[in-house]
Amino acid sequence: MKHIGRVYVRLALVLMNTVILMLVIEGASAVIISSRPATTLQADLDAFKSRMLGLSYYQAQDWADGYWTEHLQADNWVYAPYRLWQTRPFAGQYITVDEHGNRLTHASDCNGDTYQIYVFGGSTLWGYGVPDWNTIPTGMQIALIDAGVCVMNFGELGYSSTQSLIRLSQLIANGDVPDMVVFYDGTNDIAAANRTSIAGNHFYYEAINSALSSQKFAQADVSLGQGLLNALTHSATYRLFVGDPPKIQPNWALPPLDESFINATAQAYLNNIAMANALCEANGCVFQAFIQPVLPMSAREVNDEEQRFLWEMPGGLYELFEAVYPIWEAQADELPYLTYMGQALDTQTERIWIDFNHITAVGNLAIASDIVAVIRPFLK
């Protein structure tokens, strides 16, 4: 028994020393990694800001530097049930987001008796690249100032029409029913489908899917060996000697595009706006949807800067726009609640585009004017 006890003590000492050694190595690895030259997210953000400020449009705007500084701070999300994410409240000089994730619409007076217009969409509707006073909803509000309406901006960065539909249904379920609902979108439905090869999908699918499939959310399905492997690959020691785990890569939908995928992408949007229209019909509000213009569908000749935007588009995205937009254009002739705006900016002579789908304040004003021309007859 004494012999067994001595062996046990020796094994315990070896195990304890091994654990201590591993902790020392892990700590040293963490220190070494932290002292590496910064190839950080901040460096990427600084490079992005510099690139945007280098565009010809922003070189002429005295608010540009301040706006993009605030944009990189405001682009910060919190989980939203069913919709996945929502912008956190932010109060800046150029960007204001309230506690509900809604961006400020200038000149709006939303008292209880005002005709309420709720506008939904993605980042272009939200006002990506412009101050609060240059967004599409603000342009609509100013154009309708004589009509005594309240325009509220429910746009959200990255939202597809499915997420807008969910948000609309949540509002109505809570008794918040506007007089009119406007959807201004299309781009994100196509871009998310292109990124994931799944029609009707949302952005950040890869990261969310990976998180939900991880050991934390599926412990019953992960073996002890797999759990230890997961822990090892995320340790500082592993990252020091092997490198960081590979980044999750998109599953791009590349040409030749399958006809069923094209049709499913187009139909997912059409189904969403049909459901939004049905919700409004059932609850006494007017519904109108607008397919937003995008540079790939422009019929006019592009300049050098715009050509670069087109070259920088992900593989297969240009072709998916070319395939889906004509389907929506044809449907706009049949559906009384859908307006196609694919070439709505082609007559503009000033700088309009800051990438393949986001537009300048000049573009926002033109779009707001076009939307108001369509919806004004419905105002009561």
The yes-or-no verdict on residue 210 having pLDDT over 80 is yes
With bands split at pLDDT 50, 70 and 90, how would you rate the model's confidence at 248? confident
pLDDT of residue 380: 73
**AA identity, residue 141:** Q
H or E stretch covering 329: helix 317-332
Taking residues 95-119, report their average pLDDT: 93
8 part of a folded domain: no
- Please give the C-alpha separations between residue 315 and each of 33, 195, 249, 255, 300, in angstroms, as whole numbers: 34, 9, 13, 8, 22
Rounded mean pLDDT, 97-101: 96
Mean pLDDT, all residues of the chain: 88
223 CB-contact burial (10 Å; exposed 0-12 / middle 13-18 / buried 19+): exposed
Q: Give the predicted TM-score (pTM) of the model.
A: 0.86
In a domain, 22, yes or no: no
Residue of 16 and 134 predicted with greater confidence: 134
**Domain membership flag for residue 262:** yes
Cα 286-81-84 angle, rounded to 5 deg: 90
Is 233 a residue whose pLDDT tops 60? no
Integer Cα distance of 353 and 132 in angstroms: 18
3-state secondary structure of 252: coil
- pLDDT tens for each residue of 320-371: 999 999 999 999 999 999 999 999 999 999 999 999 999 999 999 999 999 9
Of 127-131, 219-223, 297-301, 307-311, the one with minimum mean pLDDT is 219-223
* pLDDT of res. 79: 95
CA-nearest of 310, 321, 330 to 253 is: 321
In a domain, 81, yes or no: yes
**For residue 37, what pLDDT band results from cuts at 50, 70 and 90?**
low
Looking at the domain assignment, is residue 20 inside a domain?
Answer: no
What integer is the mean pLDDT of 231-260? Answer: 72
Q: What is the pLDDT of residues 288-328, one digit of tens each?
A: 999 999 999 999 999 999 999 999 999 999 999 999 999 99
Contact indicator for 366, 345 with CB cutoff of 8 Å: yes
Collapsed DSSP state (helix, strand, coil) of residue 60:
coil
- Structural domain boundaries enclosing 83: 55-197+252-378
Residue 112 pLDDT? 75
Question: Are 151 and 141 spatial neighbours (Cβ–Cβ below 8 Å)?
Answer: yes
Given pLDDT bands bounded at 50, 70 and 90, which one contains residue 54?
A: very high
pLDDT of res. 289: 98
User: Is 142 inside any structural domain?
Assistant: yes
Q: Quote the pLDDT of residue 119.
A: 98
The dihedral region occupied by 128, where left means phi > 0, alpha psi between -120 and 50, and beta the remainder, is beta
235 found inside a domain: no
Specify the pLDDT at position 33: 46
Looking at the structure of the chain, the number of domains it has is 1
Q: Is the Cβ–Cβ distance between 293 and 341 less than 8 Å?
A: yes
pLDDT computed for residue 212 by the predictor:
85
Question: Cα 289 to chain center, whole Å?
Answer: 19
Query: Could you give the percent of the chain with pLDDT greater than 90?
Result: 75
Mean pLDDT over 40-48 rounds to 86
Report yes or no on 217 lying in a domain: no
Which domain CATH number covers 352? 3.40.50.1110
Dist CA 148 CA 108 (whole Å):
9
Q: Are 293 and 345 in contact (CB under 8 A)?
A: yes
